[in-house]
């Protein structure tokens, strides 16, 4: 059972906008920065969004992150077939004194 | 260019101790604010954060696994070692090491390719 809650799956058609939620509590998302990772099939995860909204160089601006209270969200606009992957949110938990991950969301491009 | 690579046994018997080594390049673990973390992923399941060691040798562990984990560094060899004692089939997973840069709040920025460890008799 993950500390952060994500929907297990999401889907969209090419060109659509999809959003993936990540729900936590005051001890984690509510008081810390959120990170998002993309894991392509058979590959190691890659940093996608850091510090709630920032994109590492090389990440298209189709990917955006937001945070409000104890929840965060990853949005992908102009969906493309190569976006089909697993997406994980992560943050620091002040009570556990460790990084915590969400359970992951499998994005399918129909 | 920052790279990390995990190495260790692919098969371990239950109750044994698993020792994994992360060999990295492109950064120094003696630099203020730098850290290396271990994260694992059971087949078909989610990521699980395990442990992290800082440039100053401070350490953090997953509370649920703390009694079985140990993380150490060898700055001269650019290596970080994770040991997991008393392994169980539930420890079967791909184990990743990752670099955390200053200002990234202990989060992984660069990841290794991962190494699959199977626990079975």
Q: Which pLDDT does position A1 carry in this prediction?
A: 82
Predicted confidence (pLDDT) at residue B104 exceeds the cutoff of 90? no
**Facing residue for A98 by CB, picked from B47, B49, B112:** B49
Predicted confidence (pLDDT) at residue B4 exceeds the cutoff of 90? yes
The residues of chain A scoring below 70 in pLDDT are none
Interface of A with B in 20-49 (CB under 8 A): 32-33, 35, 37, 39, 44-47
Contact B107 A98 (CB under 8 A): no
Question: Does residue A43 sit in helix, strand or coil?
Answer: coil
Predicted confidence (pLDDT) at residue B21 exceeds the cutoff of 90? yes
| Residue among B114, B99, B101, B104 at smallest CA distance from B42 | B114
Predicted confidence (pLDDT) at residue B5 exceeds the cutoff of 90? yes
Torsion of CA A18, A74, A40, B51, to 10 degrees: -160
How big, in percent rounded to 5, are the helix, strand and coil portions of chain A? 5, 50, 45
A3 and B CB contact within 8 Å: no
pLDDT tens per residue, range B32-88: 999 999 999 999 999 999 999 999 999 999 999 999 999 999 999 999 999 999 999
Q: Which pLDDT does position B105 carry in this prediction?
A: 85
User: CB of B18 within 8 A of CB of B83?
Assistant: yes
Please give the Cα distance from A65 to A76 (Å, whole number).
9
**Facing residue for B107 by CB, picked from A50, A96, A102:** A50
DSSP-derived secondary structure for B12-66: E-TTSPEEEEEEEESS-TTSTT-EEEEEEE-TTS--EEEEEEETTS-EEE-TTTG
Q: What is the mean pLDDT of chain B?
A: 96
Predicted confidence (pLDDT) at residue B19 exceeds the cutoff of 90? yes
Count of other CB atoms within 10 angstroms of residue A72: 28
Q: What is the mean pLDDT of chain A?
A: 97
Count of other CB atoms within 10 angstroms of residue A21: 16
Residue B107 with chain A: CB contacts under 8 Å: 35, 47, 50, 90, 92, 99
Chain A residue with the nearest C-alpha to that of B46: A103
C-alpha A69: how far from chain center: 16
Predicted confidence (pLDDT) at residue B24 exceeds the cutoff of 90? yes
Contact A92 B111 (CB under 8 A): no
Q: What are phi and psi of A32, to 5 degrees?
A: -140, 170
pLDDT tens per residue, range A12-23: 999 999 999 999
Residue A49 with chain B: CB contacts under 8 Å: none
**Facing residue for B46 by CB, picked from A51, A99, A103:** A103
Q: Which pLDDT does position B36 carry in this prediction?
A: 98
């Amino acid at each position: 059972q993950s500390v952060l809650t994500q929907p297990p799956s999401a889907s969209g058609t090419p060109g659509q906008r999809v959003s993936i939620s990540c729900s936590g509590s005051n001890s984690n998302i509510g008081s810390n920065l959120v990170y998002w990772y993309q894991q392509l099939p058979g590959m190691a995860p890659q940093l996608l969004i850091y510090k709630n909204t920032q994109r590492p160089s090389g990440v298209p601006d189709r990917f955006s992150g937001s945070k409000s209270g104890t929840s965060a969200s990853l949005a992908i606009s102009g969906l493309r077939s190569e976006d089909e992957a697993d997406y994980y949110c992560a943050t620091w938990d002040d009570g556990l004194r460790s990084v915590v991950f969400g359970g992951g969301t499998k994005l399918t491009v129909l | 260019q920052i790279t990390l690579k995990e190495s260790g046994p692919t098969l371990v018997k239950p109750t044994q101790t698993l020792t994994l080594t992360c060999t990295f390049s492109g950064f120094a673990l003696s630099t203020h604010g730098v850290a290396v973390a271990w994260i694992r992923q059971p087949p078909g399941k989610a990521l699980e954060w395990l442990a992290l060691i800082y440039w100053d040798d401070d350490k953090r562990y997953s509370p649920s696994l703390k009694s079985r984990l140990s993380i150490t560094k060898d700055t001269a060899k650019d290596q970080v070692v994770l040991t997991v004692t008393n392994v169980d089939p539930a420890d079967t997973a791909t184990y990743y090491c990752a670099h955390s840069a200053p200002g990234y709040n202990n989060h992984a920025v660069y990841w290794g390719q991962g190494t699959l460890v199977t626990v079975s008799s």
